[in-house]
Structures are given as C-alpha cells and as structure tokens.
A and B are shown apart, each in its own frame.
Chain A
Amino acid sequence: MTQSPTLSRRAASSAPSQPRKSRRRGADARAGYTFLLPWLLGFIALTVGPMISSLYLSFTNYNLFDAPKWIGFDNYVSLFQDERFLQSVGVTMQYVVFGTPLKLAAALAIAMLLNSKRKGQGFYRSAFYAPSLIGASVSIAIVWKAMFGDSGPVDQGLSFFGINLGGWVGNPNMTMGMMILLTVWQFGAPMVIFLAGLKQIPADLYEAASMDGAGPVRKFMNITWPMLSPVIFFNLLMETIHAFQIFASAYIISNGEGGPAGSTLFYTLYLYLRGFSDFRMGYASAMAWLLVIVVGIITLIFFKTSKSWVHYSGDAK
C-alpha cells in the first residue's frame, strides 16, 4: 500500500493531464483492492460477520439449537449478579496485573544481557526465544501440569531446600503462581522486540554518559529507558491484550473446569463453559463483548498516559 502513492506520483509526472492522473489512481486502487480481496473476504466472513452476529446474540437468549429470543440487556445485567463471573474477572485481573509486568521485566533483562557482542549470541537468542514458540501449545500445558504436581520436579526441588508446598496443581492458592510462571517463561517474543529496540540506541550516548561518570543504573534510567520507551509501550500493550485472552493452558491444566475451587477460572474459560457446556450462547456473547469493551478502554488509557512517558525520536521534548 505504501508503494502506490510513489507510483502515482511518478505516473503523474510522466503524464501531467488531470483526468489521466485520476484514472491511473483509480486503476491502482482497483488493482490494490483486487489483491486484497482474498484477505478482505476472509476478514469480513470470518471476523466482522461473526462479531456482528455475536453482538446481536448478546442481547438474546440463545441455546445453540433454537432461534435466539430477544431479551435486551438482561444478559449484561445478570453478569454482574453472577458470582462465578465476578470470580473470573478477579482471576483474570490478577493474571494480567502480575503476569504481564513480570514477563516484560524478564524479557527486558534477558534482552539487555544478550545485547552485547559475544560468541554464541545467536544460539542464546534462539534458545531463549524457543519457549514462546511452543509455550502456548497443549503439550507444554500438560508438561507444566506434571511438573507442578505432587512429587513432581518442582515439589521435589523445593523440598530439597526445605520448602514443602506439595503439588501446586491441586492447591487453589498456588495455581495462579503456576500460571504466571508459565507466561513469564514465554518471554521470548517481547525479548526479540526489545533486542531490536536496544540495537537502535546509538552507542555514542552510552560513551558520552560514561565520560561524564554515569553508572549502569543511571545509564539505564536516563538513556535505555527513554530511548526504548516506544518499544516498551508496544510490548506492554500487546502483552496486556494477550494476557486477557489466556485460554488454552488454563483449559488443559484445569481439565476444562477452571478448578481447583475456581482458581484458574479465567474470563475466556468461563465464557467458553457458559457457551458450550451450559448452552448459554447469548450470555457468552455478552461476556465476549464486555471483554472487547474493557480491553478497548484499557488500550485507550494506555495511549492517553503514554504521552507522558513515551518518547519518540524527533520529538521536541
């Protein structure tokens, strides 16, 4: 798409007459949209269409089999009287608020370690990136479950140091910790983006700071952080949105029930259970739309507050 203005400009200079120019631009657009067609069709049929129908369903009582019955805002109202719903909100917020910053901190720390010219850096980068490729898979969730079970490697390792917690999987107070560890472990994707950002920071800034006697903390606070802030902002936004959508690992680890004692009843898992176990698709659609709205609001807040701490190069500030 970014190509076409340049193309038209060149076309315009070779053929200066006005009608010809617009005809060419129209032809460009036609070609562009034609190439976009397969994607556009998919986007409309598989994303926009279902979203609109789910918006409609969220105002109905729909059990998957019979025709939906219009009930207005009843689903949205009963959500807030549903203790399981409130529990799922609490569980998800915990996960987002603790999991995302920890994951980003780990990603940034490792990225800074890897941002130096040493032998075998390529290998380390790939090795640290690998978990984020496989981390969301079903098999990893199963492995995780086995590792954190009674007498699993984690339990035995901690017992060796005299910490007897027992299995984490069956303990409602420990499952959240386990889920957060699983997401932190997948720090690879934001790490790669951080690494690319770090490479963009001119080395002479650090050299000048060293000359002035700045220590590593000072350099981080005054050079790395501000220079990297657009990348940090991007990662924070993406990972937060991503964290709200956690489903597969929670589904596997809790046998699709959100247990023990509702401690892994994540928002999307409860949505799924309501829709497909209880056949309350209208209710589930209302939950889905509430999630869209909340994530939208949070994104908006992020963008508003970003002005005070995100610095783009070339800004006057």
Chain B
Amino acid sequence: MIDRRKFLTTVALGTASAAFLSACGQSSSPAQTGSADNPVTITYTWWGNDDRAERTRKAIALFESKNPDIKVNGNFSDFAGYWQKRATEAAGGGLPDVMQWDLSYLRDYGQRNQLLDLGTVKVNTDAFEKSLLPSGQIRGKTYGIPTSTNAFAVYYDPAKLAALGIAEPDGSWNYKEFNAFLTEVGQKGNGTLFGGTDYTGIWWNFNIWLRQNNIQAFTDEGKLGFSKDDLKKWWNLTADLRGTGAIVGEDKATQLLPKSPFGSNVTATEVTWDNFMAGYLADSGAKELKLVPVPSDDPDNLGLFLKPSMLMVASAKTKYKDAAARFIDFMVNDPEVGQIFKTSRGVPASKTQRDGTTFEGTDKLVVDYEKSIEKYLKDAPEPPIVGFGTLESTFKRVTQDLNYGKLTVDGAVDVWFKEAEDLIKQNA
C-alpha cells in the first residue's frame, strides 16, 4: 500500500522528470523547405532608424507575396546595440537566419565560422562590379553580398546656410578652409546652430585622410600601418575648434541620441556616408540636403572609395539555407526592392537593381555625387582586421573624451594605441 509520504515522493519525482523530459523533447528538427500551405519562417534582423524599418517591412511584404512558401520575421535595433545582441546570440548558437551586416564585423564572425559561405548556395552576383565583391570575401569564401555602395561626403543644409548668409561650398576645400567654414557657421549661428560635429571622431574619415597622405591604415599582416604621430596630427586638426561654436559640444550631442546632431537641426554640416541622406531627411524634416566631397590638402587625391554600405549575410547554423539564399538574392537584386529603398541603403550595388530604380530629388543627388567623384575613387578596402568594431568605437569614445576635455591629444593617442595593440595581440 502507498502511504502518504511515498505518494508525495512519487508525485514530486514525476513532476520533475516530466518537466525535464518536455524540455528535451523540443529539439525535433522541422522541415527544411516550406510550401504555400505550410511555409517556413526565417528570421531577419537589421540596424537602422524608423525610416529604414518602414522600408524593410515593405520589402519583406513584397518578398512574402512573391514567395508564399517563406515567411520572414523581422527585427531591428540601433547600430551599437545591434552588435552586442549578435555576440550574445552567436555565443549561444542562435544567430538569426539572415542579417544585415557591416564590413567592420565581417572578419570577427566570418573567420570564426559563424557565417554561411554564400558560395555554397544560390545567390546571383552576375550584376555586381567585380571589384566590389572581394570586400565580402575572406580567404576565398563569400560571407557577405553587398546590398549597395556608399562614399564619404560632407552634407550641408542649404536653407540653414542661406538663413545665415553663408555661401554654399563647392567641396574643393582643404582642411584649413573647411575649418574656417565651420567656424563661420558657428559664429553666425550664435549658440543655436553649430558648424558640425568633431569630424576627427570618425574612424573612416581618418582612414580617408591617411589615404590622402598615401598611408595604409592596416598592413597586410593585420598590424597598424600608421604611427602615433599620424594620429596626433589628425586629432590636432580640430584642436582649435573644440569648445567653440564650430563644433557641437558632446554634452548636447549625447542627449540627442539616438538621433545625430545634424538630424536634430543642431548643426549645419556633417561628414559621413552619403547613404545617410534618407535618414537625415526623415529625422530633420529639412526640405533639401546637399553633398560635396570631403576636404583634402592634395586636390588630386581625395582618398575616397566606394565601400559596401552594408552586406547581407546568413548564419552558418541556419536550417533554411535555401530560403535564406532566396531572401538575400531578392534583397540585393530585385528592382522593386531598389524602388523601396532608393538610396537609403546606399546606391544599389547590383546593376539589375540599380537600373530598375528611378532616382529623383535627393536620391538623384546621392547617385550624382557618387558619379561626380568617380575619377577620384580607389579600390574598396578589404574586410578590416578582427576586432575592428572595437577599434572603431574606441576611436569615437576617445574623441568624445577629447571634447569633454578629459584627455589631451597626446593622452588620447596613447589610450587608442594601447587598446589597438592589446587587441591585435589578443587576436594574433
């Protein structure tokens, strides 16, 4: 006969083992391909603002209507949080099936076998410039397909300059002239409008300046190709501007996050990638924004290049390789996707998509800008070194500390170099 205690023991054991068994039972593998009645669901994640989210949703809806056997679950975040989430997911083996990717992180994940070799699935790259594809490849394997290209540029808001009575720049300027321009805006803006953000805080801008001076940022062995003196020169470029109206203070800029000062109508200019146009227009509500080349002390060498503004990648562990490949192919090649995104991801990299897209207004400005700098363009950079994302964000952080007056230029250079050398040693 079962007494009370035995009964309770049995119940407790039973409950525990049932919970344990049901936890184990969920790993049965679902079907690899779907059908219209029983579609497979793939997950897709990207970074960006509301504007991009809206466009991406439209693209996903279009994809689903053309491919009734696949459903796409979309999810997005801002750029900084994006990479922390991916790291957590990668550690747990649960990266989304398809992801928007940045060149800075391609080596970190590609070299560590987290990304699917897209050479093993069907993604059509016939319509791509052959010089662009290597930037998505590491050691002969294709981990990312560029959606589009972008180039560095100086944005300005013509209406704001007109209101201050300042002539529009034509982009044929050296650093001294550019600084003078920022200073003039700051003086006339009188505390409500600033010249721009500290342009020495952006790694890629520094990279362009290095190219202008014929210095390679990273050697082929994955070491730093520039010296402490080079970086000192760079951060000293805006030394006299910090704390004046030429550059918006960090205390202001921090509070505007996640929007940029330029998108918040606090500055008249911004030096960054040309595909930010759509985002800036949506954020600021400005009627029109224009683009001119970055300053250079050598008028024949602007140091500019076309970079894949973003890539499409798939997780190495995806169960739906075929569905993932079809979605990537669709996002990079389909002309209607081009019509949805216009230049908000950059100028479409695939000729099929580019030719199928009509560029008007500001989108035409971006396309025209990339045409206008064609003769200055050099090769796209290779995927940067492992851990580059950290170096890029440290670069920005250290410049912020410079602007807060917490670091001197010499101190900032030491901090950044220590971080870089640690990291290169770490990943050697």
B112's nearest neighbour on chain A, judged by CB, is A65
Contact assessment for B387 and A261 in the assembled complex, using a CB-CB cutoff below 8 Å: no
Cα distance A309–B71 when bound, in Å? 65
Question: Can you list 26 residue pairs at the A/B interface with Cβ under 8 Å?
Answer: A31-B5, A34-B8, A34-B9, A34-B13, A35-B8, A35-B12, A38-B16, A63-B426, A64-B87, A65-B90, A149-B255, A150-B252, A167-B251, A170-B255, A256-B80, A256-B81, A257-B397, A259-B397, A261-B250, A261-B400, A261-B404, A276-B84, A277-B393, A278-B390, A279-B87, A279-B108
Contact with A along B249-275 (1 / 0, CB 8 A): 111111101100000000000000000
Contact assessment for B252 and A38 in the assembled complex, using a CB-CB cutoff below 8 Å: no
CB distance from A50 to the nearest CB of B (A): 12
CB distance from A2 to the nearest CB of B (A): 18
Question: How many chain B residues have a CB neighbour from A under 8 Å?
Answer: 45
**Inside 8 A of A256's CB, which chain B residues have their CB?**
80-81, 84
What 20 additional pairs, Cβ within 8 angstroms, besides A261-B406, A272-B84, A279-B387? A27-B5, A31-B5, A34-B12, A34-B16, A38-B19, A41-B20, A65-B90, A65-B114, A83-B415, A150-B252, A167-B251, A169-B255, A172-B404, A256-B81, A259-B254, A260-B251, A260-B400, A261-B401, A277-B83, A278-B423
Contact with A along B60-96 (1 / 0, CB 8 A): 0000000000000000000011011001101100000
Q: B15 on the interface (CB 8 Å rule)?
A: yes
Q: B427 on the interface (CB 8 Å rule)?
A: yes
**Interface residues of B: mostly helix, strand, loop or mixed?**
helix
Contact with B along A19-55 (1 / 0, CB 8 A): 0000000011011001101100100000000000000
Cα distance A31–B8 when bound, in Å? 7
Q: A66 on the interface (CB 8 Å rule)?
A: yes
Give the interface size bracket for A toward B.
35 or more
Contact with B along A149-162 (1 / 0, CB 8 A): 11000000000000
CB distance from B375 to the nearest CB of A (A): 39
CB distance from B373 to the nearest CB of A (A): 33
Contact assessment for A63 and B427 in the assembled complex, using a CB-CB cutoff below 8 Å: yes
Q: A166 on the interface (CB 8 Å rule)?
A: yes
Cα distance A253–B255 when bound, in Å? 10
A63-79, CB < 8 A from B: 63-66, 78
A38's nearest neighbour on chain B, judged by CB, is B16
Interchain residue pairs A-B with the least CB separation, the first 10: A170-B251, A65-B112, A170-B254, A261-B404, A34-B12, A64-B91, A170-B255, A276-B87, A278-B390, A37-B16
**Inside 8 A of B393's CB, which chain A residues have their CB?**
257, 277
B171-206, CB < 8 A from A: none
Q: Which of A31, A34, A169, A257 contacts B80 (CB 8 A)?
A: A257
Cα distance A172–B397 when bound, in Å? 14
Contact with A along B378-410 (1 / 0, CB 8 A): 000000000101100100010011001010000
**Inside 8 A of B227's CB, which chain A residues have their CB?**
none
**Inside 8 A of B84's CB, which chain A residues have their CB?**
256, 272, 276-277
CB distance from B290 to the nearest CB of A (A): 28
**Inside 8 A of B87's CB, which chain A residues have their CB?**
64, 276-277, 279
B288-312, CB < 8 A from A: none
Cα distance A37–B426 when bound, in Å? 42
B91-122, CB < 8 A from A: 91, 108-109, 112-114
Cα distance A34–B11 when bound, in Å? 9
CB distance from B394 to the nearest CB of A (A): 9
Q: A171 on the interface (CB 8 Å rule)?
A: yes
Cα distance A65–B404 when bound, in Å? 36
Q: Which of A166, A255, A278 contacts B258 (CB 8 A)?
A: A255
**Inside 8 A of B387's CB, which chain A residues have their CB?**
278-279
**Inside 8 A of B8's CB, which chain A residues have their CB?**
31, 34-35
Contact assessment for A260 and B88 in the assembled complex, using a CB-CB cutoff below 8 Å: no
CB distance from B409 to the nearest CB of A (A): 16
Cα distance A166–B249 when bound, in Å? 13
Cα distance A281–B92 when bound, in Å? 13
CB distance from A99 to the nearest CB of B (A): 22
Contact assessment for B112 and A66 in the assembled complex, using a CB-CB cutoff below 8 Å: yes
